[in-house]
Structure 1
Amino acid sequence: MATPPQRNKVFFGTFVHSKTLAELEYLHNTAIAVNATGKIVAIEPDHTSLDSALFSLLPKLNWTADSVSATSTASPSHFFFPGFIDTHLHASQYPNVGIFGNSTLLDWLNTYTFPLEASLSDPAKARKVYTRVIRKTLAHGTTCAAYYATVDVPSTNLLADLCLSAGQRALVGRVCMDQLSPSYYRDESPEAALSATMESIKYIEGIDPAFDIVRPVLTPRFAPSCSAPLLQGLGKLAAERPDLPIQTHISENKNEIALVKELFPPSATGAGDDSYSSVYDAFGLLTDRTILAHGVHLSEFEAELIAKRGAKVSHCPCSNSAITSGAARVRWLMEKGVTCGLGTDMSGGYSPSVLEAARHAALVSRHVAMGGDDAAKLTVEEVLYLATKGGAEVVGMEGKVGGFEVGMEWDAQLVTLGTVGEDGGVGDEEDGNVDVFGWESWEDRIAKWVYNGDDRNTRMVWVKGRLVHERK
C-alpha cells in the first residue's frame, strides 16, 4: 500500500514548537514550505499575508501556483504545533480505557487485559478495535504511536496495515510472552515466539520496505512474562537487526519488581546484580533503541545503567496514577542523562490524548515536588517537549519529526482555540474548554491549551505532509 501522491504545500500563520527542553519558539506571520515528499524545505518569517508568502516562495523553490496547496490560520488564536508522539500504548487494550477498577498491575492483567487481547484473534473484532484507536489518536493530534498489538500474528499485521492506510506513523510490535500468562494466551515456546515475531517483521517489511510510516518493533511484554531463553533469543535478534527498535516495560510496580528478582536471580542471568534493568542488559535488550515504559521505581544504579546504554523511558503518568503504581521522577531521570517521552499507556491510562498525558506529567511532577524535591516540577514548556521532540528521540526519529525545522518532515496539527465575544458569549468560534479573551500572551494561551485543551481544539492533522485527520 503506497502513500497517495502529494502536492507541494505552503502553510502560513503562527507556528509554535520546542526550541529546547525549556523554551518554546513562536514564529508569527511565518510561511513554511513543504515539498511533495512531506519535507520542510523553507521557513520564511515576516510576511504580511499568505499571498505575500507565495509571491516570495514560489520562484525561490521553482514551484508553480497550480502545484501548490495552501493552508492559512484564520484567527489570532489558531496555531500550528508539531504532531504528538505517543511512546507507549496498547492498541489491543483500547476498549478497556477507564476500566481498571481497584486492581493492582498483575491482577489487572489477568482480570481485564489478557482476555481482551486474546479475543482479538477474531479478525472482525481486531479491525473494529484497531480502526477506532487509530482514528481516535489521530483526532487527538498523535502523528506517531509506539503500539503493542497481541501475540497473534494476523492481528498484529492487520494493525500495521491499518496504520499504513490511515497514514499514522507507527511502531507495531507483536507481543512476546511464554510464561506467567493464561494458557490460552501465550507463546507455546521461545522458538514459537521468535518464529512468529519474524513472521510479523517480514510482513511489515513487505508492506512498507523503507519503514517510512510503519516499522516493526521487538516487543517482549515484560521480563516476568518471558522465559530466559526467549529473552536471550530476542536479544540475539536485536543484535542481528540494528534497524529495529525494542519496547518493553520496567519498574512499573513494586510487586512486579519483586517478581523479577525472584524469577531472574544473577545466577540465572549472569548479571552482576538482581536489578530489573540488569536483566534486560544481561540479555542484550538494553540498547540505545530500547523504549522502557514507566520506570517508576528505578534505583540510582539502574538510572545510570539506562543512561549509559542509551535506552529511553516512556513516562506514563495517567496509567501510573490510575493503577496506583507510583510517581516517576522524570526530572531526576533527565538529570541522570535518560531521554524521556510521554505515553498514554492505554488501557492502564484512561485517555488517548498525549496532551492529557502532558498535563498529568506536570501534575505528577508537583506531587513528587510535594515529597520534598521542589526542583522536580515540570513546566508547560518541558512537558510539551516530552510530547514532541523528546518523544521523537525515544522512538528513534530525532531530527526527523517533532519540530519545525528545514529538513524535518511535516508531522503537524492545526490547533484552534475558542474566542470570547464582547458580551462574554461565543466569539468568532468556540472550540472546547479553552477560552481566549484576547489579552492573553502567547505563553498564557499555550498554558491554557495544555491544561484545558482536548481533541476539539485539533482541527487538522498531517503526517509526512499528508492530511490524515480533519475535524468537521
Structure 2
Amino acid sequence: MDGHSNSNSSAVEDMKVYTGTLVHATEENPMLILEDKVLGVCHGKIEFVAPATEVENLKAKYNFSDANVTALTSSQFLMPGLVDSHIHAPQFPNNGIHLDLPLLEWLQNYTFPTEARFCDLKYARAVYAKAVDRVLRSGTTTASYFGSMHLEATKILSNIVLEKGQRAFVGKVNMMVNCPEDYRELSVDESAKETEDFILYVKSLNSPLVQPIVTPRFAPTCPKEQLERLGQLAAKHDCHIQSHLCESQAEKAWVKDLFAGSKNYADVYHTAGLLTNKTVMAHCVWLDDEEVALVKGSGTGVSHCPNSNMSLRSGMCNVRRLLKAGLKVGLGTDCSGGFSPSILNALRMAVLMSKGLSAMSNAKHLTLEESFRLATLGGAKVLHLEDRIGNFEVKKEFDALLIDVEAKGTPFDIFPEDTTEEKIQKFLYNGDDRNILQVFVAGQKVVDQMA
C-alpha cells in the first residue's frame, strides 16, 4: 500500500497532508486498517501514502510545512467516499413513506405520480437541491442517479450535482408503455432525440465529475425498438447505461410475456446492446444461471439494493452467489424503494440480508468487511471507475470521508478499551452523518461540519 508518485521536489502549494488512521479495501483485503500513516493529496489526487515516521522526509521532498498537515485524533479516521450505484433523485419526496405495496403496484400508485411532478422546474430545482445535499452529507461521493422522464428537469439535476461538487452519473429516464398517460414519452424518435440532447448537454458542462448515463427505466416500460435505439446511442457516445433487472418475480414473469421471443430477462437487454462493461443493472435478485453468465460475460455490474428489496418484498438477493460467479457488485440505496438515502444503511442491510439467507441455507454470509468493500471499491468497479476512485491507492482521486467516532451528537458510545478496529465497526453499524465531519470529492472539500 505504501507508495509515492514520481513527483519532482519543487514546492507543492496545494498539498494537503493527513496523519493518522486510514481504512480502505483492496482486491486482496476487504477492509485494511492502516494506523500511523501519512497521506498526501495534490491536485485532487493521492500523491503518497507512507508511515507517519516519514513525515519529515516527505516535507523535504515535497516542500510542505506543518501548516499543510492535518493530524487526526485517536477518534478519527479517513475512509474512501461511499458509492451509491443506484438512486432515484425524483423519488426523494417519498423517502420513508408509501412502502405498503409490492414493486409494480408501488410504481403505479406512488412513484409515477411523484415523478410526474417534475415537469414543474421550480419543484424539480427545490427537490434536487435537497436530494443532492442529503446524499453528500450521508457520505456518498459518487452516485448514479435516475432522473425523471423530463429533459429540462434532468438538466437541472446535472447542474445541481455540478454546483455541489459531487461525482455522479445522471440519466434522463426513458419509458413509453405500461406507465401513466401523463408520464410517458410519445415516440421512440422523441425518446432518442431527448436522450441525445441530454447526453450532449451534460458533455457540454465539461466536468470530469458529472457524466451522462443512458437510462431505460426497465424493459416493461420500453418497447424493443426503444431499447435498441438507446443501445445505439450509448455506443455512439460511449456512455454508461443503467436500468433494472430481475428485481421481483412478478416483474420477471411480466417481461417473459412482453418479450416472448427472448431467452430471458437479461437477454432482452443483451440483444438491444445494453449489457456492456459500462452498464449497471440494479437488483438482479432473481437471475437464473444463464443470466448470471450473460451479465458476467458482458462485464455488466450489479447494484445490490437490500433495503428496497426488503421494503417492497421483492426478494433476498444472494450476493455471495453473484460474487462467486465473478460478477461486479456494488451497493445502492434505491431511494425511495429503499427508505434511507445512506449507503451506510445499505451496507448494514446487505450484511443482515446475507445472514438471513445463511440462516436458511447454512451458507457463508457476507461479513461487515466485505460489505464495506461493496460500498466503496465494489461500487467503483460497478461504475467502471476503479482506476480513479474506490480506495487510497497512489494516483487515485481523493474521494474521502473524515470520520469522528466521538463527534458531537454521535449516536453510539466509545469506551477506553475500544480498539481502532472496534471503533470503525461501531461507526459502520451505528454511525450516521453526525460522524462524517468532512467529505472530499477529487480533493475538494464539499461538506465541512468543522467550519
Task: Mark yes or no: TM-score above 0.5.
Answer: yes
Structure 1 residue 401 corresponds to structure 2 residue 408:
no
Matched, 1:298 2:297: no
Aligned residues: 438
Q: What is the TM-score when the length of structure 1 is the normalising length?
A: 0.90
Counterparts in 2 of 1:320-469, with a 5 A limit? 320-375=309-364, 377-418=365-406, 430-469=408-447
Taking the TM superposition and a 5 Å limit, the aligned residue runs for 1:226-245 are 226-242=222-238, 244-245=239-240
Matched with 1:39 is: 45
The offset of 1:450, in angstroms, is 1.6
Q: 2:241 aligns with which of 243, 246, 256?
A: 246
- Give yes or no for contact 1:366–1:378 (8 Å, CA) kept in 2: yes
CA RMSD of aligned residues (A): 1.5
Q: 2:256 aligns with which of 236, 255, 261?
A: 261
- Alpha-carbon shift at residue 287 of structure 1 (Å): 1.2
Q: Matches of 1:30 and 1:113 in 2, distance apart?
A: 47
Q: Residue in 2 aligned with 1:289?
A: 278
Q: Give the structure 2 partner of residue 13 of structure 1.
A: 20
1:224 aligns with 2:217: no
| Higher mean displacement: 433-442 or 15-24 | 15-24
Helix, strand or coil at the partner of 2:191: helix
**Cα deviation 1:356-399 (Å, max 9, x = unaligned):** 10000000001111221421x11111000000000001111012
User: Is the CA contact 2:83–2:343 (under 8 Å) kept in the aligned structure 1?
Assistant: yes
SS of the counterpart of 1:374? coil
1:34 touches 1:42 (CA, 8 Å); kept in 2?
A: yes
2:171 to 166, 170, 173: 173
What does residue 101 of structure 1 align with?
99
Give me the whole-angstrom Cα distance separating, in 2, the residues matched to 1:237 and 1:69: 46
Contact 2:331–2:379 (8 Å) recurs in 1: yes
**C-alpha distance in 1 between matches for 2:449 and 2:309:** 31
Residues 415 and 459 in structure 1, CA contact (< 8 A), matched pair in contact too: yes
In the TM superposition, residue 7 of structure 1 has moved relative to its aligned partner by 2.6
Contact 2:408–2:434 (Cα < 8 Å) also in 1: no
Aligned to 2:7: none
Q: Is the 8 A contact 1:27 1:45 kept in 2?
A: no
Structure 1 counterpart of 2:214, one-letter code? L
Q: Are the equivalent residues in 2 in contact too, given 1:163–1:169 (CA < 8 A)? A: yes
Q: Residue by residue, what CA displacement relative to the aligned partner does 1:80-121 show, whole Å, maximum 9, x if unpaired?
A: 000000000001101101123321111111111111111112
Q: Deviations over 1:379-429 (max 9, x none)?
A: 1110000000000011110121111111111000001102xxxxxxxxxx5
- After TM superposition, give the deviation of residue 435 of structure 1 in Å: 1.4
Q: What pairs with 1:93-172 in structure 2 (closer than 5 Å)?
A: 93-172=91-170
Q: Secondary structure at the match of 2:302?
A: strand
Q: CA deviation at 1:431?
A: 4.2
**Could you tell me the TM-score, scaled by structure 2's length?**
0.94
In structure 1, C-alpha distance between the alignment counterparts of 2:18 and 2:64, rounded to whole Å:
16
Structure 2, unmatched stretches of 5+, are 1-12
Name the aligned partner's letter for residue 47 of structure 2. Answer: V
Instruction: Tell me the CA shift for residue 72 of structure 1.
Output: 2.3
